[in-house]
Amino acid sequence: MRIPKILFLTLLWVCTGTLAQNKQLLYDFTEIPQSLLINPGVQTDFKWYAGVPGISGLSFQAGSSGVSAYDLFAADGIDFNTKVRDRLLGGMTTRDELSGTQQIELLNVGFRSNDPNVFYSFGIYNESDAIGYWFQDYAILAIEGNADRLNQRFDLGDLKTRGEMMNVFHFGVNKKMNNKLTVGGRAKIYSSILDFNSTRNKGFFVTRPGQNNLLSSTFNADMKWRTSGINALKAAENEEDIPGTILKRGFFGGNLGLGIDLGLTYQLNKQTVFTASLLDLGFIYHSNDVENYTLKGDVTTEGVEVILPQDVLDPNRDFWQDLVDNIEEIVPFENNFNNYITFRPTKLYASLRYNWGEQALRGADCDCGPYVTSSNRVPKFVNGVGGQLYMINRPRGPQAAITAFYQRRFGNIMAVKATYTADKFTYTNIGFGLNLQAGPVNLYLMADNLLAYRNIADSRYASFQLGLNIISWGKK
């Protein structure tokens, strides 16, 4: 069997990396409306804003904690098989992962209430998220086999992956409680388009010296692969109607879930700010187009075993078929259509910022055009420096990242943020974000792990975000 290249690369992608969701550049970047999606309790001073549909918030992130494309495919003269053995089989562990996330905003609108301390925002965005951990023992079995590995257990739990695509409908409320505290919350309805997960597999395969025969093989499995929406998309592919099916399932025609985001900003003193947010505390109930697969049982075989004379009383007995049937009976591979629940990968952010420097110019003082009125923007310090913490719940437990940042404002037309982030992917992640305000038009661009751009193929982590909004500060 020849494994198609695309399948290999997909497996590599799924199984060697992690797609992180950290948006450390956007977090608490209060000039950008999308910061409300990462902390609903952020300090806002907009009168209203509207994202440009489709391009108000684009973000793509991909990361691999194991190998990069360059590690494997560099034209370095090293035999490819050597690289696979040394860098994949020998260089990675089951904690190495590959993951990716993309978000595309379809609608994002915010407006201030009659109560000037309350700001509402709502919208729709499409999100895809996938993660796969390196399946070390499966790879050893596939590339090297089980020979000469007596008593070595191949852990079936090494298969640990999940992925999903959904539309998220959200409505958030942000309220300034007093001069120190701003809180916010966001309710979410998830409309799942597709989901797959196989994260709680247990079991092993081991070859031992046999009791009777030379070798015995034991297969102990408790494995599940759950899916929803996959069959609908397969059918749509046959009918050449994938966009229609995605659209239908993404707008309440698939599986639904509920979630909330919570956040706050607390002014410790005039210049020091603490923020925190908890995102995607929610679940999706899968009952539509569900198909699950299970493999469960415990069997040991030493091959065809014949004890004379009793085993040959039936001259027509098919020992081989009996063995196969017996194994399939003890360890059945089955499918079912049982409903299931998945929990969203919950994220936690927190930051501490120290601000200083002269206050930024108010809108009245800048040459921002007729749409920006004069008196509603909250004066902000020019400089900000601080640290951020990010955590996300993943199938092998929480992952964390720490970030140091410096933010600088240039009047009301530009703000920049530089970050240094350390996480499992890289210790040299320097990011840069740029926010431009031209009249009512707001444009932001952010990129991560910039040092790796010297050789993007060797990067183990990359993210990119951009957005275009129309913002008004109006009058309070």
Partner 1 sequence: MKRILQSVLFVMLLLGGMSACTEELDFNQFDDLEATPTYEAGILYLEAQEDLINLISGTNVFSQNFNFDAFSSDIFADRVLDGTITFVVENTTSKELAITVELLDEADTVTDTEIFSIEPAPTAIIQREIAYGDSGRSIDIIKTLSTIRVTATNLGDNTSVSTLPDPLITLKSSGKFRLRVK
Residues that bind partner 1 (CB under 8 A): 1-3, 5, 8-9, 69-70, 72-75, 79-81, 84, 141-148, 207, 210, 212-217, 301-309, 312, 318-321, 408, 410-411, 413-414, 416, 432, 434, 447, 450, 453-458
User: CB of 127: closest distance to partner 1 in angstroms?
Assistant: 25
Please report the sign of the dihedral spanned by the C-alpha atoms of residue 195, residue 199, residue 200, residue 204: positive
Q: How far is CA 12 from CA 97, 134, 303, in A?
A: 10, 8, 34
User: CB of 383: closest distance to partner 1 in angstroms?
Assistant: 13
* Residue from 248, 273, 230 nearest 30 by CA: 273
Task: Name which of 79 and 334 has its Cβ closer to partner 1.
Answer: 79
d(CA 82, CA 95): 22
Q: Are 423 and 22 in contact (CB under 8 A)?
A: yes
User: CB of 80: closest distance to partner 1 in angstroms?
Assistant: 4
Task: Name which of 48 and 204 has its Cβ closer to partner 1.
Answer: 204
Task: Name which of 181 and 312 has its Cβ closer to partner 1.
Answer: 312
* Residue from 388, 280, 362 nearest 28 by CA: 388
User: CB of 302: closest distance to partner 1 in angstroms?
Assistant: 4
Task: Name which of 2 and 270 has its Cβ closer to partner 1.
Answer: 2
d(CA 376, CA 46): 8
User: CB of 277: closest distance to partner 1 in angstroms?
Assistant: 28
Q: Are 110 and 474 in contact (CB under 8 A)?
A: no
25: DSSP letter:
T
User: CB of 427: closest distance to partner 1 in angstroms?
Assistant: 18
Task: Name which of 114 and 214 has its Cβ closer to partner 1.
Answer: 214
Task: Name which of 174 and 419 has its Cβ closer to partner 1.
Answer: 419
User: CB of 292: closest distance to partner 1 in angstroms?
Assistant: 25
d(CA 112, CA 47): 5
| Alpha-carbon torsion angle 273, 125, 63, 406, nearest 10 | -20
458: DSSP letter:
G
Measured CA angle at 405 (ends 402, 409), to 5 deg: 155
User: CB of 77: closest distance to partner 1 in angstroms?
Assistant: 10
Q: How far is CA 84 from CA 13, 280, 281, in A?
A: 14, 37, 39
Task: Name which of 224 and 408 has its Cβ closer to partner 1.
Answer: 408
Q: How far is CA 384 from CA 252, 335, 415, in A?
A: 42, 55, 11
User: CB of 305: closest distance to partner 1 in angstroms?
Assistant: 5
Q: Is the peptide bond before 379 cis (omega within 30 degrees of 0)?
A: no
Q: Is the peptide bond before 243 cis (omega within 30 degrees of 0)?
A: no
Task: Name which of 102 and 217 has its Cβ closer to partner 1.
Answer: 217
d(CA 72, CA 85): 10
The dihedrals phi and psi of 86, each to the nearest 5 degrees, come to -75, -40
d(CA 413, CA 356): 19
* Residue from 460, 436, 441 nearest 449 by CA: 460
User: CB of 468: closest distance to partner 1 in angstroms?
Assistant: 18
Task: Name which of 306 and 341 has its Cβ closer to partner 1.
Answer: 306
> In this structure, what token pair is assigned to residue 36?
């409300």
Task: Name which of 118 and 330 has its Cβ closer to partner 1.
Answer: 330
